[in-house]
């Protein structure tokens, strides 16, 4: 059987090389994505055989957003380290690469993902042909995954360190060979095309040498619940061969475009279907232009017939790096969580809002909506008249219309789903969405392939653009409703920053009666998330109304609120860029901590300072915003407003990226802030606190908030650890919300009454 398998796969390899040479076209990449390698199958229909698609062969998730795999200079980056080890099972010296996340610390434990490459690659393929480190860095920066260690082994067990260090000609490379990433590229490295080397010998190396080495040299969990295995092409086959029969070692298994090294038929791959049922997640994925899709189709069908829960994700890609980057983005958001998503084994796709992490595809509701629509509260006012559209009904469905008589296609794009709109005889397009979750939603219209705002709404800055927004009434909207109570003022303020050499804008909320008296007030500095700015908390977040209502009800002490922009012009790349350095420059974060790029080499196992939130977020330190805040903004506020200027009367909080900024600034300036709030933006772990006695003396509250549809469990665990250490810490979970404004409105509503109570 093994000889037949080798012959079949070599035929596939040969077909791929011919296709790569004859067809120079590549599939359209995601807009804004990093350049993709047109290698395996030349990115065009793939190789290996005819493609026959069935009813199950469809996407389980939307495509990742634009730019998901591009390097972002202004966020923290993990460190990629090549290392050598002695393989006792193989009797050779071997190489692998290890990614450690930003802020890696020996003071905490990390889960581990083992990522296997394809036949034409080595331990570098995932980070040189694909963009694994960019994908993971970006997801960490967005708070969508928890920090993890990633190991990139060499899947060809016959290859040694000496083979990898040999000149290209000695490895089998030659002018005119297949492009990097193509099937067969570099196949002659080491000891030639020895197919057996990819099977049992590598399995032994992984289980007996690689995993024990990582467990003993890195600060990682050593149980199966914190270990995942995934791979592309040949590595996908290895993943299925190993992972599906070793649930005692791995809890999460992902095969991307799995190649013919996958044991066949599936009964040979999984002789006992009860074994993979012990896994927390089985992920099968392949592009519908990949000639090897039949391999994954057969595994999917077998698992389905035997009731093995699994994800089956078929998108529009070929056998290429776009497919593998996309699946890493999706897969990594469903590992090391309490309830991984399983959608293919007699389970209906789970409904959810498209907040944090990818969601299953949505079947468009074609039933007539209930005709009790009302205009959204966020609609534009024109000549004293509120625009009718968009409108929302009692089913929480959103309907809008647009006059575009010459357009060929118009879609309503909301919640990651595009709903078709229909045109009437007068050129008006009208469309309605499925039921949306309660709260604020960004949305847009797509006209003949071009995304445009809906002219019926006000404009909101989010997702690094100005666009439309619609409010689906929440059952608890009363706490941020406009009421007949005394109202504070939300002022737009400008001041000249010597640090930025520019005039900066921020907003200042002063409580009711501020203008009437002479008393002084405490101050909360509150920050927005990535891709948003200083408008967010006042507009999308209704922060002023939340405080007005709490103060009127006697639930919160009156205090001021300052809403800054974390993006400093000229230093942070402007709106929507990261808060580090300018585009194209190194992040302005000061000296890199140990375990991060730019740090001093580490001796032995990686170490470093305390990780962010115990790995439940990330810390952003020494940013331009931190310098502006501490050196200019706070002094400006204290000089121009009636504030208390001492530490017990100052608080800081933020959502998502703003939580990470809050995390870094407050820990670095405990003499300035007594209250710390992080909303969907990480948490603080006790090992990060240098002097616990001093911390407890100075810090009156650590507040951590998450939506119930986010992965807030690690943050909750950190809060419990802080409580045991004697810190006043609070964890709040917003019911039935994800990474979204309704979560953060509720966070502020819970956080504000705890501030400045004089205890």
Instruction: Report the pLDDT value the prediction gives residue 622, as an integer from 0 to 100.
Output: 76
Q: Over 80: is that where the pLDDT of 128 sits?
A: yes
The better pLDDT of the pair 571, 109 is held by 109
| Segment 53-72 mean pLDDT | 92
| Segment 30-34 mean pLDDT | 45
Tokens of 163: 């083979």
Burial class (CB in 10 A: 0-12, 13-18, 19+), 463: middle
Res. 614 pLDDT band, cuts 50 70 90: very low
| Segment 292-310 mean pLDDT | 92
Res. 316 pLDDT band, cuts 50 70 90: very high
Instruction: Report the pLDDT value the prediction gives residue 111, as an integer from 0 to 100.
Output: 96
Instruction: Report the pLDDT value the prediction gives residue 321, as an integer from 0 to 100.
Output: 93
Tokens of 732: 């709040």
Instruction: Report the pLDDT value the prediction gives residue 192, as an integer from 0 to 100.
Output: 41
Kindly report the average pLDDT of the chain as a whole number. Answer: 82
Instruction: Report the pLDDT value the prediction gives residue 198, as an integer from 0 to 100.
Output: 82
Q: What is the percent of the chain where pLDDT is above 90?
A: 64
Q: Over 80: is that where the pLDDT of 121 sits?
A: yes
Q: Over 70: is that where the pLDDT of 38 sits?
A: no
Instruction: Report the pLDDT value the prediction gives residue 517, as an integer from 0 to 100.
Output: 86
Q: What is the percent of the chain where pLDDT is above 70?
A: 80
Q: pTM to 2 decimals? A: 0.55
Work out the angle at residue 163's Cα, subtended by the Cα atoms of residues 158 and 168, and round it to the nearest 5 degrees.
125
Res. 646 pLDDT band, cuts 50 70 90: very high
pLDDT in tens, 337-370: 865 554 443 333 333 333 334 444 567 888 999 9
User: Which residues have a Cβ under 8 Å from the Cβ of 310 and sit 6 or more positions away?
Assistant: 276, 281, 282, 283, 284, 300, 303, 304, 342, 344, 345
Q: Are 198 and 134 in contact (CB under 8 A)?
A: no
Distance CA 503, CA 499 (A): 10
DSSP 43: G
CA distances from residue 710 to 75, 96, 173, 334, 400 in whole angstroms, order as listed? 21, 33, 47, 11, 30
Which residues in 623-757 belong to E strands, given as ranges? 650-655, 675-679, 701-707, 729-734
Res. 194 pLDDT band, cuts 50 70 90: low
Q: Over 60: is that where the pLDDT of 497 sits?
A: yes
First-to-last alpha carbon distance for the chain, in angstroms, is 75
Least confident of 18-22, 126-130, 444-448: 18-22
Tokens of 375: 């205009």
The better pLDDT of the pair 175, 85 is held by 85
Question: What SS3 class is residue 613?
Answer: helix
Instruction: Report the pLDDT value the prediction gives residue 362, as an integer from 0 to 100.
Output: 63
Res. 589 pLDDT band, cuts 50 70 90: very low
Report H helices in 131-256. 132-141, 161-165, 200-205, 211-217, 234-243
Distance CA 393, CA 400 (A): 12
Q: Over 70: is that where the pLDDT of 639 sits?
A: yes
| Segment 427-456 mean pLDDT | 94
Distance CA 220, CA 112 (A): 7
Res. 385 pLDDT band, cuts 50 70 90: confident
Q: Over 90: is that where the pLDDT of 501 sits?
A: yes
| Segment 540-562 mean pLDDT | 97
Instruction: Report the pLDDT value the prediction gives residue 713, as an integer from 0 to 100.
Output: 86
Instruction: Report the pLDDT value the prediction gives residue 98, as an integer from 0 to 100.
Output: 97
Instruction: Report the pLDDT value the prediction gives residue 531, as an integer from 0 to 100.
Output: 84
Instruction: Report the pLDDT value the prediction gives residue 412, as an integer from 0 to 100.
Output: 95
Q: In the chain, helix, strand, coil percent, each to 5?
A: 25, 20, 50
Least confident of 145-154, 566-575, 613-622, 711-720: 613-622
Residue 560: enclosing H or E segment and its boundaries? strand 560-563
Q: Over 70: is that where the pLDDT of 21 sits?
A: no
Listed residue (36, 211, 232) closest to 116, CA to CA: 232
User: Which residues have a Cβ under 8 Å from the Cβ of 598 and sit 6 or more positions away?
Assistant: 586, 591, 592
Instruction: Report the pLDDT value the prediction gives residue 169, as an integer from 0 to 100.
Output: 45
Q: Over 90: is that where the pLDDT of 383 sits?
A: no
């Amino acid at each position: 059987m093994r000889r037949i398998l080798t012959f079949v796969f070599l035929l596939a390899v040969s077909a791929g090389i011919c296709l790569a040479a004859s067809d120079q076209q590549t599939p359209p990449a995601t807009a804004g994505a990093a350049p993709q390698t047109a290698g395996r199958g030349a990115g065009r229909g793939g190789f290996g055989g005819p493609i026959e698609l069935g009813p199950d062969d469809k996407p389980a998730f939307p495509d990742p957003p634009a730019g998901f795999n591009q390097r972002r200079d202004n966020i923290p980056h993990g460190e990629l380290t090549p290392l050598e080890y002695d393989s006792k099972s193989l009797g050779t010296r071997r190489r692998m690469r290890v990614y450690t996340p930003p802020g890696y610390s020996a003071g905490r434990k990390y889960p581990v993902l083992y990522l296997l490459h394809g036949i034409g690659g080595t331990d570098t393929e995932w980070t040189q042909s694909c963009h694994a480190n960019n994908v993971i860095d970006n997801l960490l920066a967005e708070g969508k995954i928890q920090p993890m260690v990633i190991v990139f082994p060499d899947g060809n067990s016959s290859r040694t360190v000496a083979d990898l260090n040999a000149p290209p000609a000695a490895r089998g490379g030659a002018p005119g060979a297949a492009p990097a990433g193509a099937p067969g590229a570099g196949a002659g490295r080491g000891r030639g095309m020895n197919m057996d080397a990819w099977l049992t010998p590598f399995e032994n190396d992984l289980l007996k040498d690689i995993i024990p080495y990582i467990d003993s040299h890195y600060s990682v969990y050593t149980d199966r619940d914190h270990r995942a295995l995934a791979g592309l092409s040949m590595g996908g086959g290895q993943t299925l061969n190993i992972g599906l029969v070793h649930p005692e070692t791995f809890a999460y298994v992902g095969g991307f475009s799995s190649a013919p090294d996958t044991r066949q038929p599936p009964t040979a791959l999984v002789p006992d279907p009860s074994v993979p049922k012990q896994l927390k997640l089985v992920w099968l994925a392949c592009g519908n232009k990949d000639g090897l899709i039949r391999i994954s189709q057969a595994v999917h069908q077998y698992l389905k017939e035997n009731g093995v829960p699994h994800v089956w994700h078929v998108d529009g890609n070929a056998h290429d790096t776009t497919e593998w980057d996309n699946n890493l983005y999706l897969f990594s958001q469903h590992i090391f969580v309490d309830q991984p998503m399983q959608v293919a084994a007699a389970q209906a796709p789970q409904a959810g809002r498209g907040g944090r992490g990818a969601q299953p595809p949505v079947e468009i509701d074609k039933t007539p909506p209930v005709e009790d629509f009302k205009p959204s509260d966020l609609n534009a006012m024109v000549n004293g008249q509120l625009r009718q559209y968009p409108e929302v009904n009692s089913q929480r469905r959103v309907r809008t219309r647009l006059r575009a008589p010459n357009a060929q296609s118009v879609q309503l794009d909301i919640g990651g789903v595009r709903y078709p709109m229909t045109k009437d005889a007068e050129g008006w397009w009208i469309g309605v969405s499925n039921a949306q979750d309660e709260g604020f939603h960004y949305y847009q219209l797509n006209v003949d392939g071009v995304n445009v705002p809906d002219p019926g709404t006000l404009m909101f800055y989010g997702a690094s653009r100005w666009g439309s927004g619609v409010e689906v009434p929440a059952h608890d909207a009363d706490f941020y409703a406009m009421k007949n109570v005394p109202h504070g003022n939300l002022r737009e303020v400008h001041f000249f920053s010597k640090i930025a050499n520019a005039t900066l804008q921020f907003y200042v909320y002063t409580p009711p009666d501020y203008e009437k008296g002479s008393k002084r007030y405490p101050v909360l500095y509150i920050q927005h998330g990535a891709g948003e700015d200083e408008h967010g908390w006042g507009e999308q977040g209704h922060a002023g109304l939340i405080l007005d209502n709490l103060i009127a009800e006697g639930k919160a002490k009156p205090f001021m609120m300052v809403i800054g922009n974390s993006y400093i012009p000229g230093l942070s790349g402007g709106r929507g860029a990261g808060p580090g350095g300018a585009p194209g420059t190194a992040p302005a974060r000061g000296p890199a901590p140990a375990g991060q790029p730019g740090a001093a080499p580490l001796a032995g196992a990686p170490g470093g300072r305390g990780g962010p939130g115990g790995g439940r977020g990330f810390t952003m330190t020494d940013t331009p915003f931190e310098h502006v805040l501490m050196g200019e903004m706070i002094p400006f506020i204290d000089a121009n407003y009636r504030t208390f200027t001492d530490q017990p009367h100052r608080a800081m909080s933020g959502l998502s990226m703003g939580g990470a900024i809050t995390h870094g600034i407050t820990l670095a300036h405990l003499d300035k802030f007594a209250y710390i709030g992080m909303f969907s933006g990480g948490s603080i772990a006790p090992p990060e606190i240098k002097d616990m006695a001093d911390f407890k003396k100075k810090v009156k509250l650590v507040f951590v908030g998450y939506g119930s549809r986010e992965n807030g469990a690690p943050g909750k665990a950190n809060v419990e650890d802080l409580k045991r250490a004697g810190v006043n810490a609070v964890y709040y979970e917003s019911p039935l919300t994800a990474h979204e404004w309704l979560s953060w409105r509720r966070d502020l509503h819970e956080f504000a009454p705890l501030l400045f109570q004089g205890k």
